[in-house]
Chain A
């Protein structure tokens, strides 16, 4: 395995780890979304690294990256829609105050 691939994969792993920490530790909906964005960014780095260092002649690898970017945009659109609805209903997007969502 090349050192370039390893450094890209370690970066992806670090971004994923930071994203997991952010998504679990933050109480605000928008900050939680930032954590999820970082986790998806880690996946993006890995996909591009696999395409570049293992299968550079296969354009399907880049297509996967576009699909993950779509997922990021969908997450933002739905997340902000929910944030606006929640803010309008309760005046806050603090998830500590959303205990009624518990099953």
Chain B
């Protein structure tokens, strides 16, 4: 018998996959970015269904911002952002489809055939979870957390350095 939690997980999971497929099926770039935003939001809702409240809210907030920026970039950089010209923007579709299907089937096979052991008890409430996560991040996993922080700072500086327009010298045309 499937529980209410299982139903919510299945529903939001199906929504995430459907919107994920829609990302590559529409020719409008804005629709594509919005489909990815909805897919990520459905994943955030899945996290909420799995009682990971902090991570669910974080996922929804982070992805809403990220996908809005992505939509702006897509409109800037695509040759046909509205998809009105029906431009072909794919290649090696058959090979990609086979690769994606193999990846999916392999992951499902692992999920089905591996013995995951006995399930755990119910998780602590949201406040205690967040407190324990904070203690974990600033205690035992401090080095990993700091490394992640430094990595993202380095990436921001590197991305800005790559993207910045090079200065033209006075002799250059």
On A, residues with C-beta under 8 Å from B are 1-22, 24-31, 33-35, 37-38, 41-42, 44-45, 48-49, 51-57, 59-60, 62-63, 65-67, 69-70, 72-74, 76-78, 80-85, 87-88, 92-94, 96
3 tightest CB-CB pairs across the interface, nearest first? A17-B104, A81-B159, A21-B100
A5 near B104 with CB under 8 A, answer no
Question: Which residues of chain B are near A10, meaning CB under 8 Å?
Answer: 13, 108, 111
18 contacts between A and B (CB under 8 A): A11-B17, A14-B17, A24-B95, A24-B96, A24-B100, A25-B90, A30-B29, A38-B36, A45-B13, A45-B46, A51-B52, A56-B120, A59-B136, A62-B52, A74-B155, A76-B70, A78-B155, A78-B159
Given the complex, which residues of B lie within 8 Å of A29, measured CB to CB? 77
B residues with a Cβ closer than 8 A to A are 2-3, 5-6, 9-10, 13-14, 16-17, 20-21, 23-24, 29, 32-33, 36, 39-40, 43, 46-47, 50-52, 54-55, 58-59, 62, 66, 69-70, 73-74, 76-79, 89-93, 95-97, 99-101, 103-105, 107-108, 111-112, 115-117, 119-124, 129, 132-133, 135-137, 140-141, 144-145, 148, 151-152, 155-156, 158-163, 165
Report which of A3, A27, A66, A70 forms a contact with B90, defined as CB distance below 8 A.
A27
Quick check: A25 and B24 within 8 Å, CB to CB? yes
Instruction: Assess the A2–B119 pair: CB atoms within 8 A.
Output: yes
Would B111 and A44 count as touching, CB distance under 8 A?
A: no
The complex places the Cα of A39 from the Cα of B104 at a distance, in Å, of 11
Other A-B pairs beyond A21-B97, A52-B123, A77-B156, 12, CB < 8 Å: A3-B2, A9-B107, A10-B108, A11-B13, A25-B97, A30-B77, A31-B89, A34-B24, A44-B43, A44-B59, A62-B55, A66-B58
